[in-house]
C-alpha cells in the first residue's frame, strides 16, 4: 500500500501513467459508486502506525464506527474487525454517503487522538478502499477474511481471542459449527493479499 514512497522516479512515473490511462485517481484507490450495495471496506492508519493500540481506544473507535454507521447512515453492518492500525467492514451502504460520513469520523478521531497523544498535525488515516461484493461466495469469503484478520496480523493466536470483532456475535447467533462450515466452504486462501500489509 505504501510502496510508492520507495519507488524510483521512473517507477513512480510509470505507475502514475498507468493510473491516468485507466482513468483512476493518481494517488488514491478508485471508488465505484454503485448506490446501495454490499462492500468490504478497509481503512488503514497512515503508514500502518498502531495508533489504536490501547484497548480503550479500540473499544471507543468500535462504538464510534460500527454503531454510528448503522444509526447515522442506516447501513447494515454484516461483519467488522478493528485492529491497532486498520479496520475492515463488511457493509451494505451507499458508498457516496459513507465516504462523506467516514471522512468526518476520521477527521474527528484524528483531532481527538492527536490531542490525547500530544502529536498535533500527525496524519492518522490513509484513505479507505472498497470492494463491491460480487456474490454469496464472495460475501462469505469476505466475512471469513474479516474474522481471521487478527490472527493474520499476529494480534491473536485464535480469532475468538480478539474482542474487537463481529466474530463474537456470529458465535452467539449462528454457532461455531456453522462458522466452521462457512470456513470450509468459503476459504480465505490468498484473499485480500496485499490489501493491508
- Domain ranges (residues) in the chain: 1-30, 31-185
Burial of 182 (C-beta count, 10 Å sphere; 0-12/13-18/19+):
middle
Q: In which region does residue 118 sit, left (phi positive, over 0), alpha (psi from -120 to 50) or beta (all else)?
A: left
Q: What is the mean pLDDT of residues 182-195?
A: 79
Q: Give yes or no for a contact between 16 and 26, defined as CB atoms under 8 angstroms apart.
A: yes
Q: What is the mean pLDDT of residues 125-149?
A: 92
Question: Residue 128 above 70 pLDDT?
Answer: yes
For residue 150, CA distances in Å to 16, 158, 161 come to 33, 8, 9
Question: Residue 24 above 60 pLDDT?
Answer: no
- Alpha carbons 55 and 59: distance in angstroms, whole number: 6
If one counts every other C-beta atom within 10 angstroms of the C-beta of residue 139, the result is 17
pLDDT tens by residue, 64-116: 999 899 999 999 999 999 999 999 999 999 998 999 999 999 999 999 999 99
Whether CATH 3.60.20.40 fits 31-185? no
Residue 61, all three cell numbers: 473507535
Amino acid at each position: 500500500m505504501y510502496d510508492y514512497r520507495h519507488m524510483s522516479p521512473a517507477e513512480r512515473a510509470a505507475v502514475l501513467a498507468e493510473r491516468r490511462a485507466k482513468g483512476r485517481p493518481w494517488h488514491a484507490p478508485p471508488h465505484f459508486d454503485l448506490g446501495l450495495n454490499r462492500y468490504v471496506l478497509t481503512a488503514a492508519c497512515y503508514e500502518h502506525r498502531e495508533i489504536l493500540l490501547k484497548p480503550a481506544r479500540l473499544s471507543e473507535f468500535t462504538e464510534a464506527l460500527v454503531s454510528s454507521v448503522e444509526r447515522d447512515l442506516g447501513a447494515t453492518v454484516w461483519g467488522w474487525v478493528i485492529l491497532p492500525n486498520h479496520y475492515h467492514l463488511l457493509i451494505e451502504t451507499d458508498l457516496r454517503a459513507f465516504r462523506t460520513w467516514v471522512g468526518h469520523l476520521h477527521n474527528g478521531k484524528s483531532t481527538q487522538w492527536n490531542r490525547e497523544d500530544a502529536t498535533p498535525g500527525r496524519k492518522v488515516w490513509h484513505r479507505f478502499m472498497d470492494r463491491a461484493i460480487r456474490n454469496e461466495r464472495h460475501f462469505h469469503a469476505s466475512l471469513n477474511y474479516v474474522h481471521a484478520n487478527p490472527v493474520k496480523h499476529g494480534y491473536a493466536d485464535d480469532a475468538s481471542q480478539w474482542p474487537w470483532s463481529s466474530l463474537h456475535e456470529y458465535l452467539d447467533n449462528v454457532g461455531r459449527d456453522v462458522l466452521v462450515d462457512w470456513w470450509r466452504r468459503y476459504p480465505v486462501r490468498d484473499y485480500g493479499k496485499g490489501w493491508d500489509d
